[in-house]
Amino acid sequence: MRTNALVPPGLGLGCWQFGDMGRGTPDEPQAVELIRDAHRLGISHFDTAQDYGNGRSETVLGRAVSPFTEQAFVSTKMHAAGAPETEAGVQRSLARLGRPWVDLFYVHWPKTGLDIRPMMETLESLRAAGAVRLIGVSNFAVRDLEAASSAGRIDAYQMCYNLLWRYPERDVIPWCRGRGVGIVTYSSIAQGLLSDTPRSPQTFEQGDARRNTLYYLADVWPHVHKAVEKMQALARRTGSSLSALAIQWVLGRSGVVSSLVGARSRDHISGNLAASRGRLDPSVEAELTGLSDEVMKSIPDVGNIFNFYP
């Protein structure tokens, strides 16, 4: 059994798409095979959450990694809750995952008006009992981080961070770096926007969660679209894909340990994995950052890209 686990560096597989998210979710056999393909290709870090398909993603991931559970680093999450709900929630995750421990357990979102300290204390007790190896938080402001860290050790922070969302640089990333908290990024290619085939908001099916993200607001989308076109042109000049540049840019940022990227095919996984092992030329990185600086002036700081405020 793994002890003193650390978040594996580099690319991790985000497993939200294996929940019922209304986007042509792969069926369970397809999802299991895709996760096992990722392992065969060299990925060991798999991330899910209780509310990805109301537990479906956890169940699928647990089944998929069962043949190599000792080699799989599994993280999952639950929303902020009281002490009894936290203990019950961890046990539900363990049952779905089919494992006696979870490598990294995150508090998914803070909750307005809820004291986070009893939850952290409960997670520390579960750590001492061997049910949880590392404790993390996701989508926390600095005030929430301060409260949580007063009651337990935060090992990792999972945040939305990419070329189109850089507000964590202002205070959260410096807080993490100053305390040795490993940063894990999600939405690293901005839900597919930072790719060679980004979709406009008009093409999304009803129920697609991306329709409601900040990027597609009427007064934001034109600026995002223009920036992505410029970034694509830069990628073409370098002979690379924009998704590869976006992944390399995120992994090259100070404090970032791992970047989570979803995938719907083995080719997606192998391409993203190859990109994660590359390094940006300094001049390309500077130009990419400059384009990001420009578009960030038109992206409002509303706390998160989902307009979600529990």
133-144 pLDDT, tens digit per residue, is 999 999 999 999
Residue 239 lies in a domain: yes
Instruction: Give the largest Cα separation in the chain, rounded.
Output: 55
SS3 content of the chain, % helix, strand, coil (to 5): 45, 15, 40
- Residue 1: its pLDDT value, please? 34
CATH of the domain at 204: 3.20.20.100
Q: What is the mean pLDDT of the chain?
A: 92
Q: Is residue 302 part of a domain?
A: no
Which CA distances in Å does 177 have to 137, 150, 155, 163, 169?
15, 17, 11, 19, 11
Instruction: Specify if 96 maps to a domain.
Output: yes
Tokens 């002490």 belong to residue: 83
Which structure tokens are listed for 295? 């578009």
User: Rounded CA gap, 77 and 106, in Å?
Assistant: 4
Tell whether 73 is covered by a domain. yes
**Is 133 a member of any domain?**
yes
Position 305 in a domain:
no
Q: What is the model's pTM?
A: 0.93
Residue 303 lies in a domain: no
pLDDT above 90 as % of the chain: 83
Count of structural domains, the chain: 1
Asked if residue 94 is part of any domain, the answer here is: yes
The per-residue pLDDT for range 201-219, each reduced to its tens digit, is 666 666 666 677 999 999 9
Is the pLDDT assigned to residue 28 strictly greater than 90?
Answer: no
Domain that holds residue 36: 10-296
Tell me how far apart the alpha carbons of residues 179 and 158 are, in angstroms, rounded to a whole number.
Answer: 15
Query: CB neighbours of 283 closer than 8 A, spacing ≥ 6?
Result: none
Q: How far is 103 from 201, CA to CA, in rounded Å?
A: 37
The answer to whether residues 242 and 271 touch, using CB atoms and an 8 Å cutoff, is no
Per-residue model confidence (pLDDT) at position 121: 98
Mean pLDDT of 280-289: 97
